[in-house]
Structure 1
Amino acid sequence: MSTSEPPLKRQRTDDENQCSVILRSKDFWFDDGNVILQVQSTQFRLSKSVLAMHSPVFRDMFSLPLPPEEPLVEGCPVVVLFGDTSEDWEYLLRAIFPKECFHDGADSAPSVPDLCAVLRLSKKYDIAGFRKRCVKLLKTTFPSSLEQLDDVVGFQWRGLSVKVDADTAEVCVQIINLAREVGLYSVLPSAFYTILHWQHGESGRQDKHIANLEHKEDQFKYLKACNTIIRCYEATPLVWLSSQSGISWDGCLHHLQCSAQRKALLLELLSAPDQVLGFLDEWNDEWDQKMCALCAEKAKPVYETTRIKCWEKLPEYFGLDDWDTLRKMDFE
């Protein structure tokens, strides 16, 4: 519990008075509240029972008797929460006292700042229901299975989605930083790959965001992965275009024409290296028009088999542990 600030011996300056102003939250100051939480310079008047219902941390805190002669504000004890931000608490309280909630579907999907704030605080204060919901949303948005990845359309999946109001690469950087902070490692490979995927077709626009990765090693690992994938394209699903693929084209109806088309397509993709970075994309049906039906029939299984291998190798590209280890390392 906090204590009232004792009188000072000297007169405050204008700057000091400005910094010391305590503001009441406009949205979360309830007249029937019986505890005041102070975060930075903002006070929230809330109900002990509501906080205790969601958080065993607060339940245990409120079970302790007040110290003798504890000063009160409007009859309420004041709890000062150090290390938190008032902005994060605004997000959390919107979830506890929702005008809307994290429902399924794009129309009511949480924004990334909402999701980050609620997960960060629900983990710290053991608000299990909100924590599990945030983890589910993140693991669905950045999956650890190829089947889930194939369901993606932008950032929207079949049942759940995350609202993206900012640059996609910057959003992924925020998620990677959050995952490192809270210990949700299984989302990292898909988050890194999503940056690659959106670089696919938006050449050179993502490097500026990589500098915002809080772990310098992540910056290095990302750039190394880009170079490795582009340089070793024959280890990606594009191996079907390589003369070293080992694919037998026996029976091709138009051997010279199909061979020339494959070479032209390979040169087209390699001339824009960012195209190679979308190496987990599903087969492009437009490629069927660049060869005879028999060649397409032989190429597709090679593409899909290699794509599955690349998915299993995805964490390795970014210097991470394998999928099973990452899942076991998750805090939940």
Structure 2
Amino acid sequence: MSSAPPAKRRRTESEDEGDQPVIVRSTEYWFDDGNVILQVQSTQFRLTRSFLAMHSPVFRDMFSLPLPPDEPLVEGCPVVDLPGDTSQDWTYLLRAMFPQECYNPARPLVAPICAILRLSKKYDMAGLRRHCLGLLKMEFPTSLEDFDKQTLVWTHFSIPDTVTTTVACVEIINLARELGLYSILPGAFYKLLDDEGHKGLLGDDLAKLNDKQDEVACLKAYVKMSQTFADGPFSWLGAQSSISWAGCATASRCASFRNSILIQVLLDHDLVAMQLQPWASGAWDNTQCASCLSKAKASFDAARKDVWEKLPSYFGLEDWATLRKMDFE
């Protein structure tokens, strides 16, 4: 353990005193009965060693070591400098460790969950890590069956009005790359493309991906999925459909219906965003004869499953089974 800020180089005559960061105490997590101070960037948190050790074997092992006899103290407490962390991440983590309400919110914000997962992995806080991993894997599942259980655009997280889906997905993709959480990448990439269709690819948000190859992969995936739309789940609507409509009792009416749906899809929807949309039972079941309906649904379901299996490959990723094995746990 070391005394508050790490040693700084000597300032030159041209440098101003204001260039040095001002060390501040956390307004939320400075406890008078604390016996250790964590310094993260320019913020100090005064906590208890026993509490940190209870949650983290990393801190437990650290605190088991005796202090050097000349260790500088601040208000009688040793100061532990945590390089590489951010004070905002630690504030999110401590809010989870010191909840002010009895129950966690059903749909937390993305930023705190990313921060807590990042630090809980680094400091081996198993319970917090499992909770965050569970939320991310439920939001971005690896099976179509679990994907179909999603009831909202964001089922397990809440997104403020000031944050777009693109921004939230970029944060999650960056975290997944940083920690090695590969199985959520296809779903996060797809949700990013599904952010109002191609609008999610415009502007500066996509450029915030840490790996520029991910930015290129998103653009390539959008083009490829758009080009293969005619062979996907909606191929049953096309004039060149491979389905035999023999047995249709109302051929003219059913064909007219299919044509009207195709026009609506092409005009009103983003082609990539529609690739994994479920069958619209209320809109498509009632105006086709039983024979056409059965064949159309079978074709739609089979093609949709095929899109799901191919989804990782659109972004240059391994198959689902391999991605699950590659996860850090």
* TM-score (normalised: structure 1): 0.89
2:310 is the alignment partner of 1:319: no
2 CA distance for matches of 1:245 and 1:3? 73
Task: State the shift of 1:280 in Å.
Answer: 0.9
C-alpha deviation, 1:288, in angstroms: 2.7
Question: Which one of the candidate residues 278, 283, 287 is aligned to 1:282?
Answer: 278
- Residue 8 of structure 1 deviates from its aligned partner by 10
Q: Say whether 1:234 aligns with 2:230.
A: yes
Q: Indicate conservation of the 8 Å contact 1:119/1:134, yes or no.
A: yes
Find out whether 1:310 has 2:312 as its counterpart: no
Q: 2:116 aligns with which of 115, 118, 122?
A: 118
TM-superposition CA deviations, 1:220-271 (whole Å, max 9, x none): 1111111111111133101111233321111212212322332333233234
Partner of 2:81: 80
Cα distance in structure 2, aligned partners of 1:289 and 1:152 = 25
Partner-residue secondary structure (3-state), 2:208:
coil
2:141 maps to which residue?
143
Give the counterpart letter for 1:293 in structure 2: A
* Structure 1 residue 154, shift from structure 2 partner: 2.1
Report the residue type matching 1:56 in the other structure. Answer: P
Q: How does 1:45-124 map to 2 (within 5 A)?
A: 45-100=46-101, 103=104, 107-124=105-122
Partner of 1:152: 150
Q: Of residues 214, 218, 224 in structure 2, which corresponds to 1:218?
A: 214
Aligned counterpart, 2:253: 257
Asked if structure 1 preserves the Cα contact closer than 8 Å seen for 2:229 and 2:271, the reply is no
Q: 1:276 to 1:32 in 2, by over 3 A?
A: closer
Is contact 1:230–1:277 with CA below 8 Å preserved after alignment? Answer: no
Q: In the TM superposition, what is the alpha-carbon distance from 1:292 to its structure 2 partner?
A: 2.8
Q: Which runs of 5+ in 1 are unaligned?
A: none
Question: Kindly tell me: are residues 126 and 282 of structure 1, through their superposed partners in 2, closer, same or farther at Cα, counting changes over 3 Å?
Answer: same
Q: Aligned in 2, Cα 1:59/1:12: closer, same or farther, shift over 3 Å? A: farther
One-letter amino acid of the counterpart of residue 51, structure 2:
V
More off after superposition, 253-262 vs 91-100: 253-262
Cα distance in structure 1, aligned partners of 2:121 and 2:61: 16
Q: Measured at CA, do residues 197 and 20 of structure 1 come closer, stay the same or move farther in structure 2, by a change above 3 Å?
A: closer
Is 1:2 the counterpart of 2:36? The answer is no
SS at match of 1:277: coil
SS in 1 for 2:80: strand
- Letter of the structure 2 residue corresponding to residue 180 of structure 1: R
- Cα displacement string for residues 114-170 of structure 1 (whole angstroms, at most 9, x for unaligned residues): 10110010011111110111100100011111111111122454xxx2121121222
Aligned residue for 1:198, secondary structure, equals coil
Cα deviation 1:9-50 (Å, max 9, x = unaligned): 999999525734211111111111111111111111110011
**In the aligned structure 2, how far is the partner of 1:177 from the partner of 1:322?**
20
The aligned runs of 1:123-202 (5 Å cut-off) are 123-155=121-153, 157=155, 161-165=156-160, 166-200=163-197
Q: CA offsets, 1:248-303, max 9 Å, x none? A: 11121221232233233323323456145321111012123443333112211111
**After alignment, is 94-103 or 302-311 more displaced?**
94-103
TM-score by length of 2: 0.90
Contact 2:194/2:272, CA 8 A, preserved across alignment = no
Distance in 1 between the 2:295 and 2:8 partners? 84
Matched, 1:300 2:284: no
3-state SS, counterpart of residue 204 of structure 1:
helix
Q: Is the 8 A contact 2:109 2:159 kept in 1?
A: yes
Q: Please tell me the root mean square deviation across aligned C-alpha atoms, in Å.
A: 2.5
Tell me which amino acid in the other structure corresponds to 1:322.
Answer: D
**Structure 2 Cα separation of the partners of residues 234 and 8 of structure 1:** 63
Work out whether residues 95 and 101 of structure 1, in 8 Å CA contact, stay in contact via their aligned partners in 2.
Answer: no
CA distance, structure 2, for counterparts of residue 178 and residue 303 of structure 1: 34
Aligned CA distance change for structure 1 residues 254 and 320 (closer, same or farther; 3 Å)? same
* CA offset digits 1:83-105 (Å, max 9, x no partner): 111111111111111113773xx
Cα pair distance change 1:295/1:79, threshold 3 Å: same
The answer (yes or no) to whether the contact 1:118–1:134 under 8 Å persists in 2 is: yes
Give the letter for the 1:3 counterpart: S
In structure 2, what is the equivalent of residue 246 of structure 1?
242
C-alpha distance in structure 1 between counterparts of 2:32 and 2:134, whole Å: 35
Which structure 2 residue ranges, 5 or more long, are not aligned? none
SS in 2 for 1:37: strand
